[in-house]
Amino acid sequence: MKRAVVLGGGMVGATIAADMCASEGWQVCVADVRQAPLDAVAARCRVDTRRADLSNPAVIAEVCADADVVLGAMPSALGLATLRAVIAAGKHYVDISFMAEDPLPLAASAAAAGVIAVVDCGIAPGLSSIMCGHAVATLDRCESLLIYVGGLPVERRWPFGYKAGFAPSDVIEEYVRPARFVERGELVVREALTDLEPIDLPGLGTVEAFNTDGLRTLIDTLEVPNMKEKTLRWPGHVELMRAFRATGLFDVEPIDVAGQAVRPRDVTAALVFPRWTYEPGEADLTVLRVEASGGGRTLRWDLLDYYDPATDTSSMSRCTGYPATAVARIIGEGAFPLGPGVYAPETPGREPGFLARVLGDLEARGIGVRLQETR
Amino acid sequence: MKRAVVLGGGMVGATIAADMCASEGWQVCVADVRQAPLDAVAARCRVDTRRADLSNPAVIAEVCADADVVLGAMPSALGLATLRAVIAAGKHYVDISFMAEDPLPLAASAAAAGVIAVVDCGIAPGLSSIMCGHAVATLDRCESLLIYVGGLPVERRWPFGYKAGFAPSDVIEEYVRPARFVERGELVVREALTDLEPIDLPGLGTVEAFNTDGLRTLIDTLEVPNMKEKTLRWPGHVELMRAFRATGLFDVEPIDVAGQAVRPRDVTAALVFPRWTYEPGEADLTVLRVEASGGGRTLRWDLLDYYDPATDTSSMSRCTGYPATAVARIIGEGAFPLGPGVYAPETPGREPGFLARVLGDLEARGIGVRLQETR
């Protein structure tokens, strides 16, 4: 038996744990500082649980001591410290924490420790990155990479047509942070929420795509002259968010309100929080399109996934967690195609068979991806 | 020479003062607690000014002592107290303060004091009310009164397409207060911002009309089975305001924001205030349609007025102030058609020639009203 240790028992951590637990030949331990999520995940599958303060690197070392592979589903603010601690513990690592910092400079210490660490291993970045790496390796000369991704409520309700699978404040951050993309080999920076375009996706209908800062490591790891990631929402949401932003509702500079200094974004986050939170059992969906062109060929992957009512598993946690568990199993089997180091997913994605193996694991979990190739 | 005393030297008060000053046979005194507006109005026309705290009824009595007619352009919160003080001083009064309270119960004390007081004497209520009174007196049987009114910026700018001629908090109040209207003789109460309809107005194009609580005294003074007032905005504004309201941005219940109790509406008002404030010299417009039907006839009045760059006078203050000055002159000439009492404008509006006289005065000031009659 191999042993997986899952750091963080939140929504995605629990889905990761349940999936590793259901994988033949794996036993699983989930660690979290909170007891309630540990109880919830223990009720869902046969895992060990460990209540532990994972903000302490020494505790991480101890929790990971007997792991073959560690999976990280920690808050992004703890992402880098956790990666460091797991490398120091000499353990292989797959992470979905989406840390703000650049993790790749830790490659040397990972190599020295004999550790394989794959970061940003969710859906986008994550699965999308693997597809991009695959396209770069497959096409004669990849000229363009386009990524469209969104997590949406199945039922649209006015006025937002949106609920957040994660903290509303992180969504708002996505709506204000300048978006970087690559155009004719140049880095371009555009305001977020711009370049709104309707896009028809199979099985979904028309959604709206707009600029957000989603390329992450791809900007540095891939030499493709045109790369862009856009986020998807139901029509109307972006116009409303643009109006909110223009009103100052996303501002972080405090304003004076009846003698108190108040950050408008805090007020907005507090108001939208209950309105953007999924009800228990409420269905979400995840949609991803990755389109790669070059040498006269175009590869287009389309994914559309829904909430699983049988296991009460959100589509967001399925689509974020299953790429990570697929990569963890590959590492655990000794089948990871590269040596020790810290990798963004596009790097192993370049290797033959890697994408196919990940897609096979997703398919087995009911997440079908359709590939269309045109010349 | 007759003497007019203007209480309040704000935007409308100054326009009222300048207009009375330009009227033959009138001399004018403007009173305000603030020196700056007094200096501004004195620079604009030959008026006396008087710095005085008009929140004190005894001061009002003193300021009005030598007046033939008093015109009130005070904040609405001081409206009722000012009316009381002017009646107690035994002076005729025309008021545009738009007080929240019902002023008509003061009719007996006005009658006892020999005072004529006309309240709500702006554009709507005000001019619109006079038109309604005229229609009720003119049509065989008035079945329906429809009032559409709006004050708008000439240049529309995203996202609001709106600026406020008065305090944004009063506008927000208009967007939350339930709207009352009369349908088949019954009082109907609807949420504000509802029953949105596009409406094409001559010279203006398409605007959007929606329910606000604007009928005021008409509900009680006129026995017309169908009466409705709707507010006008450039298209798109109402949908955005509905979204703001649904988000909780107009809520007055405090919420907890980082340990502070904050009223969301205060934050919203603080944010929109600079965005809804006219720039110096920025052009506004006023649009009014009143449509009265009955006995197979329809009377329709249309008014469209613009900012006057020659005198830097906003359309809002022109259209609010000139009905008041017209009525003040009528009273000053001894031509008011009714005896002492407190009147909403629809009541003298029923009397022959009253509307024509007011419209004549507006016409002389460049505010043309087009009447269409259909059978």
Three-state secondary structure string covering B309-328:
CCCCECHHHHHHHHHHHHHH
Q: Which residues contact A162 (CB under 8 A, 6 or more apart)?
A: A152, A153, A233, A234, A237, A276
Q: Write the CA distances from B173 to A330, A357, B72, B208, B250, integer angstroms.
A: 61, 60, 22, 19, 8
In a mutational test of the A interface, the residue from B247, B252, B277 whose CB has the highest number of chain A CBs within 10 Å is B247
Please tell me the distance from the alpha carbon of residue A96 to that of residue A247, in angstroms, as a whole number: 33
Low-confidence ranges of chain A (pLDDT < 50): none
Per-residue model confidence (pLDDT) at position B46: 94
Count of A–B CB contacts within 8 Å?
Answer: 66
* pLDDT, tens digit, 9 for 90 and up, residues B235-276: 999 999 999 999 999 999 999 998 999 999 999 999 999 999
For A43, other C-beta atoms within 10 Å of its C-beta total 7
pLDDT 10s digits, B336-366: 999 999 999 999 999 999 999 999 999 999 9
B269: nearest CA partner in chain A: A257
Q: How far is CA B18 from the centre of its chain?
A: 18
Give yes or no for a contact between B162 and B278, defined as CB atoms under 8 angstroms apart: no
3-state SS, one letter per residue, for chain B:
CEEEEEECCCHHHHHHHHHHHCCCCEEEEEEECCHHHHHHHHHHCCCEEEECCCCCHHHHHHHCCCCCEEEECCCHHHHHHHHHHHHHCCCEEEECCCCCCCCHHHHHHHHHHCCEEECCCEECCEHHHHHHHHHHHHCCCCCEEEEEEEEEECCCCCCCCCCCCCCHHHHHHHHHCCEEEEECCEEEEECCCCCCEEEEECCCEEEEEEECCCCCCHHHHCCCCEEEEEEEECCCHHHHHHHHHHHCCCCCCCEEECCEEECHHHHHHHHHHHHCCCCCCCCEEEEEEEEEEECCEEEEEEEEEECECCCCECHHHHHHHHHHHHHHHHHHCCCCCCCCEEECCHHHHCCCCHHHHHHHHHHHCCCCEEEEEEC
pLDDT recorded at residue B39 = 97
pLDDT of residue B165: 78
Residues of B with Cβ-Cβ distance to A247 under 8 angstroms: 159, 268, 271-272, 275
* Average pLDDT score over residue span B37-58: 96
What is the DSSP code (8-state) at residue A140? S
Q: Across-strand partners of A26?
A: A2
Give the pLDDT confidence score for residue B167 in this predicted structure: 78
Q: Write down the pLDDT at residue B170.
A: 85
**DSSP state, A315?**
H
Helix (H) or strand (E) holding A14: helix A11-21
Average pLDDT, chain B: 96
User: Please, which residues bridge with residue B255 across strands?
Assistant: B262
In this structure, the number of other CB atoms found within 10 A of the CB of residue B367 comes to 22
What value of ipTM does the predicted structure carry? 0.89
* pLDDT average, residue stretch B156-179: 91
User: With 80 as the cut, is the pLDDT of residue B331 above it?
Assistant: yes
Closest-CA distance of chain B to residue A260, Å: 8
Give the separation between CA A204 and CA A232, rounded to whole angstroms.
Answer: 11
Reduce the secondary structure of A342-353 to three states and give it as a string: EECCHHHHCCCC
The C-alpha angle with vertex B35 and arms to B31 and B36, in degrees rounded to 5, equals 115
Please tell me the predicted confidence (pLDDT) of residue A168. Answer: 81
Sequence-ordered strand ranges (E) for A173-307:
179-183, 186-190, 197-201, 205-211, 226-233, 255-257, 260-262, 284-294, 297-306
Give B268's contacts in chain A (Cβ within 8 Å): 247
Supply B87's token pair.
Answer: 């009646």
Q: Among B88, B89, B64, B91, which residue's Cα sits nearest to residue B8?
A: B64
Please give the residue of chain A at the shortest CA–CA distance from B276. A247
Position B13 scores a pLDDT of 97
d(C-alpha B134, C-alpha B358), whole Å: 12
State the Cα–Cα distance between residues A356 and B235, nearest whole angstrom: 51
Using beta carbons and an 8 Å cutoff, which residues of A are at the interface with B?
A: 158-159, 240, 242-243, 246-249, 251, 255-258, 260, 262-264, 266-268, 270-272, 275
Residue B177 distance to chain A (closest CA, Å): 20
Nearest neighbour of B242 by CB, restricted to A159, A257, A267: A159
Nearest-Cα distance to chain B for A211, in Å, is: 19
pLDDT at B130 over 80: yes
Which pLDDT does position A89 carry in this prediction? Answer: 97
The residue count for chain A = 375
Residue A264 has its nearest CB partner, among B158, B240, B271, at B271
pLDDT of residue B208: 98
Q: Which two tokens stand for residue A293?
A: 């062109």
Pairing state of beta strands A116-118 and A142-153? unpaired
Positive or negative, the CA dihedral A212, A218, A219, A224 is negative
- Chain B hits for A242, CB-CB cut-off 8 Å, are 159
Backbone angles phi, psi at A191, to 5 degrees: -60, 145
Shortest Cα distance from B122 to chain A (angstroms)? 31
**Strand-pair partners of B131:** none
Structure confidence at residue B143 (pLDDT): 98
- pTM value is 0.91
Return the pLDDT at A336.
Answer: 98
What per-residue confidence (pLDDT) applies to B166? Answer: 76
* Dihedral of the alpha carbons of A56, A61, A66, A70, in degrees to the nearest 10: 70
From the list B138, B108, B136, B133, the residue with the least C-alpha distance to B121 is B133
Quick one: CA dihedral B151, B156, B159, B163, positive or negative? negative
Q: Which two tokens stand for residue B49?
A: 């000014």
| Cα B335 from Cα A216, distance rounded (Å) | 78
For chain B, the residues whose C-beta falls within 8 A of a C-beta of chain A are 158-159, 240, 242-243, 246-249, 251, 255-258, 260, 262-264, 266-268, 270-272, 275
Looking at every residue in chain A, the average pLDDT score rounds to 96
At A291, is the secondary structure helix, strand, or coil?
A: strand
Distance from the Cα of residue A217 to its chain's centroid? 13
Structure tokens at A169: 């404040």
The total of other beta-carbon atoms located within 10 Å of residue A188's CB is 15
The residue whose two tokens read 């795509």 is: A209
- CA A375 to chain centroid, in Å, comes to 31
For A38, the 3-state DSSP assignment is helix
